[in-house]
Structure formats: C-alpha cells, structure tokens
C-alpha cells in the first residue's frame, strides 16, 4: 500500500518502458515517448498563451538563477486532463496531492541553475509554501520538444545529463528515509540544473506531489 502522496519504484516499473537509473542513493527514472507528439503540441500552445517570468522560493539574491518563463495550466483544460490521467496511471498518486501542472519555456541563454525541488525546512519561505500541503514528495517532468542545442537537465551530484526529447519523462523521489527512522529528509542527490539553451526553444511540463492534499 502506497503512502499518501507517494509512488514507488515497483509501481512505476509496472507501467512498462520505464528505466531506473543505477544510483543507490537516488530513485531516478526515465521513459521515452511517455506522451505523443499531438499532446506535446497542445501543451506547448498552452504555455505560449500563459507564460510569465519564473520566480523562486527562498530567493538567494542571484537575479539570473532562474531565467525561464512559467505558467500554471488550468486543470479544466482537456490537454491537461489527458496528461493528468496518464500520470495517475503511471504513478498511482492521489490527484488531490498534486500541485497544478506547471509549464516552462526556455529561450536561448535561459537556465535554472542547480537546485532541489524539495523545500528547505529552515528556509524563509517554508511556512508560506509547506504549512498546508507539506513537503514535495515526487517530481514528474516531461520534455515537450527536441532542442537543437543545449537545454539538458544535469543531475550534478551523480553527474548524469538528460537531453530534451519530445515526450520523454523524467521522474524522481525528492526524499530519502531519515537515518533515525523519523520524518523523511530532502535528498541532496536530487540536485539538478536546467542548463542553458544554446539554440532553439525548450518546453517542459512539471508535476509535483505533496505529503498532504494540495490546499
């Protein structure tokens, strides 16, 4: 039985076509062609219509830390509903624990410097972002297009890079068990860098899940 807000390697591998990367301290998976070209194009259209400058929790003073554009996609849109249904089939996580689907657009030279998706409990924005729904548990990220040059996602601790390919899914567990058997901890091995696009545009969908239902 999965805990609320959680998936598992066993559940993901049941879907078919999922590859687990060989890291003992990081649950990281990929699947090529998770969604088809037609759905990718519909989602790209939504991002283009709604994009705005990206922001940061716990801003570190570096105005160039995250230079992409972002949008939250409407849960009532048919393309978003189709995506959500496919993610549920894959991960089995109660949709109530999911944040709104987020789209990102990277132009030439734009990036998201190395960061974790989980929130720092000692961070200045912990109460703002986590008081209701708790910590992020899993990340599911989907590339929507091929990028001519640059734009890879690099997991800096394990030194593994993923090239953007239309429809390809990356997903990972943001937490690891506490050595003392208490609450799970944020996994520092999930540190990743949305590297600069060198040519063309990069479109990405990200879906995050929480410990408790999204408020």
Determine contact, residues 213/97, Cβ cutoff 8 Å: yes
Token digits for 174? 């943001």
Give 134's contacts (C-beta < 8 A, 6+ positions apart): 5, 210, 211, 212
pLDDT at 39: 98
More confident residue, 63 or 150: 150
Residue pLDDT, tens place only, 102-117? 999 999 999 999 999 9
| Ramachandran area for residue 134 (φ above 0: left; ψ -120 to 50: alpha; else beta) | left
pLDDT band at 58 (very low <50, low <70, confident <90, very high): low
CATH number of 9-178+186-210: 2.60.120.620
pLDDT at 1: 58
Residue pLDDT, tens place only, 142-196? 999 999 999 999 999 999 999 999 999 999 999 998 887 777 899 999 999 999 9
Where does the chain show beta strands of DSSP type E? 19-20, 28-31, 52-53, 69-72, 102-106, 112-115, 136-143, 149-150, 153-155, 160-162, 169-173, 175-176, 185-186, 192-194, 197-199, 202-210
pLDDT at 202: 98
CA–CA distance, 7 with 12 (Å, rounded to integer): 7
* CA distances for 139 relative to 27, 83, 93, 98, 201, angstroms: 11, 14, 12, 10, 22
pLDDT higher than threshold 90 for residue 63: no
Q: Identify the CA nearest to 28 among candidates 155, 177, 143, 210.
A: 155
Q: Determine what percent of the chain falls in helix, strand and coil, rounding each to the nearest 5.
A: 20, 30, 50
CA–CA distance, 117 with 57 (Å, rounded to integer): 10
């Amino acid at each position: 039985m999965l805990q609320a807000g959680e998936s598992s390697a066993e559940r993901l591998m049941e879907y078919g076509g999922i590859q687990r990367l060989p890291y003992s301290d990081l649950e990281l998976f990929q699947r090529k062609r998770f969604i088809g070209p037609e759905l990718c194009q519909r989602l790209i259209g939504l991002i283009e219509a709604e994009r705005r400058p990206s922001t940061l929790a716990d801003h570190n003073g570096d105005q160039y830390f995250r230079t992409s554009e972002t949008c939250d996609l409407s849960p009532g849109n048919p393309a978003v509903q189709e995506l959500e249904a496919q993610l549920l089939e894959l991960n089995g996580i109660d949709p109530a624990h999911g944040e709104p689907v987020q789209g990102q657009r990277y132009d030439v030279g734009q990036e998201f410097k190395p960061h974790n998706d989980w929130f720092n409990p000692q961070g200045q924005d912990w109460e703002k972002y986590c008081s209701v729904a708790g910590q992020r548990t899993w990340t599911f990220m989907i590339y929507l297009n091929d990028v001519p040059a640059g734009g890879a996602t690099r997991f800096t601790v394990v030194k593994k890079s993923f090239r953007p390919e239309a429809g390809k899914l990356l997903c990972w567990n943001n937490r690891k068990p506490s050595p003392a058997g208490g609450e799970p901890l944020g996994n520092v091995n999930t540190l990743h860098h949305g590297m600069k696009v060198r040519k063309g545009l990069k479109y990405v969908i990200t879906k995050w899940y929480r410990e408790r239902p999204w408020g």
